[in-house]
Amino acid sequence: MAVLVFAESDNGKYKKSSFEAISYGRDLADQLSTSCIAVSIGDKGPENLGQYGAHQEINVQGDVYKTFNPNTYAKTISELSSNIDGQIIILSQTYTGKSIAPLIAIKQEAALVTGIIGMANTSEGFQVKTTAFSNKAVAHIQINQAKKILSIIPNSYQVNTYDSTSEVISHNINISQEDVNTNIVKTEKEIGKIPLTEAELVISAGRGLKSAENWNLVEDLAEALGAATACSKPVSDMEWRPHSEHVGQTGITIKPNLYIAAGISGAIQHLAGVSSSKVICVINTDPEAPFFKAADYGIVGDAFDILPRLTKRISEIKG
Amino acid sequence: MKILVCVSVVPDTTTKITFKDNDTIFDKSGVQFIINPYDELALTRAIEIAETNSGSVNVITIGEADCEPVIRKALAMGANEAFRVDAQPINAMFVAHQIAHHAKDNSYDLILTGRESIDYNGGMVQGLIAEILNYPIINVVTELEYKDNKIEANRDIDGGRETVSSAMPCVVSAQKDLCEPRIPNMRGIMMARSKPLSVTEAVGESNYTQVTKYELPPSKTGVKLIDVENAESLIDILHNEEKLF
């Protein structure tokens, strides 16, 4: 048996969450005294995955993978796991991971657990912790099936490094164009922006910024810091910002290392989307804003005054 | 055009979450239940598509009798017929098998779900249904059109979006922005009372996974306030002490 990890890449570049998934897979493989095998599909990143813990790396090539289709990716991972006796399959919970994990689960008659936020406990049975109730709780899930698929939330496991390289094996899977069951008509990528789901630093703002034109204050700070930008639900509802920036219970759930919120009061639905951020800083004119209770650092003051001063200070420090 | 919308009944978004029986069971007392917000979007869009294509919309939920008022709301919004599988939705695999079992006998052209439920946030059911039925899946969709006997949808991807087309039948999951949720009017509420709501028994069982315990996430130890005159010092703390950049 082996632990198989899907190392997801995008345009020939690995996602950081892939390295987290491999480190998770390696730690789990060590616990179970087995090996950790990374699988990349199509154009992979330049890194050798051995440095993150993979004992072996399988790269699958084929024209069919040039565009993403859930069925071809799921079928590939499923067949590989059968070939190498991959009893445990680990994926990162990206949009791609979310689309393929359930398909693999049915193909493999495996138990599927998503939303995982920590290492499995294998001392008695097999248990993992997941988010539940939109980040308002943590659930302990017992898995009673030998074959398991674990979907790990990005930014919830550390990247370990190893002083080793893994052997890269090319592998062919019998997949053809006939397995492609959806067609991509068009793809739009936001160039030069850090995707919110992958960002380690996030600057967010709410209605307190008063209008869409004032967002340069947020963008300037984000650019100085190398952060992604986000917003509250009302801001996205009023179309000041695109919905892809809306974090909260009905928006995107994020867990960056730093979340700075300006002019957001901190309604329970907003907190659900951001409360597992490691460090939370809140800027609000209202000292009674509920967000202060969930924050590590707070400044009672006006975002219009404070944001440019923070931007300036970052420039001074970074030189 | 026959559409099935899968509806999950969840605690209202403002609910304070607590547990009972040694933190093994979610405490439902005093909790207001609603249609899962993403399922509400899926249902609204399904009704819109059915209206313009002389189709029909059925809803299905897995739950015990206490979720019927919420299902009536789905009928009041404009669904034609409701099905309730009388069982606790113990895990996603179980739920997906119930829905797939119903769908097999009813030849739907399109099956819609929310992108995830806001209670267990699994986001699995849509993919599981699609694979059980061997239908294509388009996940996390912000725009959905039916034309020329095909489905075309915009979906979120990491750092952007893509437009995907699929033959039918297929499974689609709804994301925010798909539409404005429809609010039932008085006529809809009256009509919902006489619309069919069938109750069926669950098929099979699934013990692949089970929740053994819940806990609340660790709470913050208290906010450190920084004087507005020294606002800049926040950056120094983040740089020197927290070492975040």
pLDDT tens, chain B, 245 aa long: 999 999 999 999 889 999 999 999 999 999 999 999 999 999 999 999 999 999 999 999 999 999 999 999 999 999 999 999 999 999 999 999 999 999 999 999 999 999 999 999 999 999 999 999 999 999 999 999 999 999 999 999 988 899 999 999 999 999 988 999 999 999 999 999 999 999 999 999 889 999 999 999 888 889 999 999 999 999 999 999 999 99
Question: What's the token pair of residue B120?
Answer: 């267990």
User: Helix or strand or coil: residue A112?
Assistant: strand
**CATH code where residue B76 lies:** 3.40.50.620
Q: Is there a contact between A295 and B163 if contact means CB atoms under 8 Å apart? A: no
In B, minimum Cα distance to A10 occurs at B158
Cα gap A22→A161, rounded to integer Å: 10
Based on the domain organization, do A29 and A168 belong to the same domain? Answer: yes
Domain assignment of residue A191, yes or no: no
Q: Which domain holds residue B24?
A: 2-219
Based on the domain organization, do A170 and A223 belong to the same domain? Answer: no
Cα gap B245→B242, rounded to integer Å: 8
Based on the domain organization, do A114 and A260 belong to the same domain? Answer: no
Q: How many domains does chain B have?
A: 1
CA nearest neighbour of B161 among B178, B149, B148: B178
Domain assignment of residue A187, yes or no: no
Question: Which residues does chain B have within 8 Å of residue A301's beta carbon, measured at their own beta carbons?
Answer: 228, 231
Cα gap A244→A68, rounded to integer Å: 20
Q: How far is B194 from chain A (nearest CA, A)?
A: 32
List for chain B the helix, strand, coil content (%; round to 5): 30, 30, 40
Buried b (16+ CB within 10 A) or exposed e, A7-27: bbbbeeebbebbbbbbbbbbb
Q: Is there a contact between B207 and A296 if contact means CB atoms under 8 Å apart? A: no
CB proximity list for B179: less than 8 A, separation 6 or greater = B41, B44, B45, B48
**CATH code where residue A287 lies:** 3.40.50.1220
Q: Is there a contact between B244 and A100 if contact means CB atoms under 8 Å apart? A: no
Based on the domain organization, do A239 and A138 belong to the same domain? Answer: no
CB proximity list for A281: less than 8 A, separation 6 or greater = A258, A259, A260, A261, A295, A296, A297, A298, A299, B234, B238
Question: Which residues does chain A have within 8 Å of residue B157's beta carbon, measured at their own beta carbons?
Answer: 68, 95-96, 187
Among A112, A268, A297, the residue with its CB nearest the CB of B223 is A297
What tens digit of pLDDT does each residue of A1-51 get?
999 999 999 888 999 999 999 999 999 999 999 999 999 999 999 999 999
Among B14, B139, B208, the residue with its CB nearest the CB of A99 is B139
Domain assignment of residue B229, yes or no: no
**B9-11 and B33-35: which strand pairing?**
antiparallel
Cα gap A11→B200, rounded to integer Å: 48
Domain assignment of residue A52, yes or no: yes
Q: Which domain holds residue A152?
A: 2-179
Among A15, A112, A225, the residue with its CB nearest the CB of B124 is A112
Q: Is there a contact between A135 and B231 if contact means CB atoms under 8 Å apart? A: no
Global pTM value: 0.94
Q: Is there a contact between A106 and B138 if contact means CB atoms under 8 Å apart? A: no
Question: Which residues does chain A have within 8 Å of residue B234's beta carbon, measured at their own beta carbons?
Answer: 281, 297, 299, 310
Based on the domain organization, do A73 and A150 belong to the same domain? Answer: yes
Q: How far is A34 from chain B (nearest CA, A)?
A: 23
**CATH code where residue A108 lies:** 3.40.50.620
Q: What is the ipTM of this complex?
A: 0.95
